[in-house]
Amino acid sequence: MRPKRTAQFEHYKTKLSDHHFWFERGLDLHQAASAVEPLVTRLTRTKRAKLGLEAPTEATEAQPRVGIQEVYLMLLGYAAECFIKRRLTRVLLRGKKKHGFNVKELPKELKSHNLRQLCDDAKIKVWPIEERAVRLLEGAVMWRGRYPVPRRAVRLEPTLLSESDLEVAKSFVQRLMPRPRPAGSRKKRPRIKSRFHHAR
């Protein structure tokens, strides 16, 4: 049965079929993650100072809560999900009539928060160095960044976040952000740059 045509349905269909809306929301979430990043950096430097890995800094501001790292990963994870779904929307619409969806709810392929599966569906390569970061981002989106416990006990596993985890997660999300690419250029493996303990 075809959906009843109403102004609300037409507006929904238009937004759902335009991959730019996924991109714009991804940028919103990425900007939010960038706003939180200084707190993550401050927390990381405090931990390094306690371990004697760098000189302690004078505390002039309240210490960020430890859970800010998971919230940061959640925002990055949602940004990644939107950027991936932008590409997946284009994949799903190939060959469709008028290059648009004619449904009143999200297609099942777009309902998932499984970032690894979404990458596969969208034909996005995940490098071995990024596998753990993708799992951490997915976990933060599913529950770690939002709730104290998951829906099922089996998912409650201890996770220690390293500086490298945060760096790779950030780099992965940045790689998903569309950029103009020179003609004839080839994809390169991601290069990870640390900013978490060199921030000023």
Burial class from Cβ neighbours inside 10 Å (0-12, 13-18, 19+) for residue 2 reads exposed
pLDDT of amino acid 186: 58
pLDDT of amino acid 52: 75
pLDDT of amino acid 105: 80
- Residue 10 has which token pair? 């037409």
Under the banding of pLDDT at 50, 70 and 90, the label for residue 185 is low
> pTM for the whole thing?
0.81
Place of tokens 């939010």: 32
More confident residue, 84 or 96: 84
Q: What are 4-59's pLDDT values in tens digits?
A: 678 888 888 888 888 899 999 999 999 999 999 999 998 988 887 777 777 776 66
Can you tell me the mean pLDDT for 88-94? 90
pLDDT of amino acid 182: 57
Can you tell me the mean pLDDT for 70-97? 92
DSSP code for 198: T
Domain ranges of the chain: 8-176
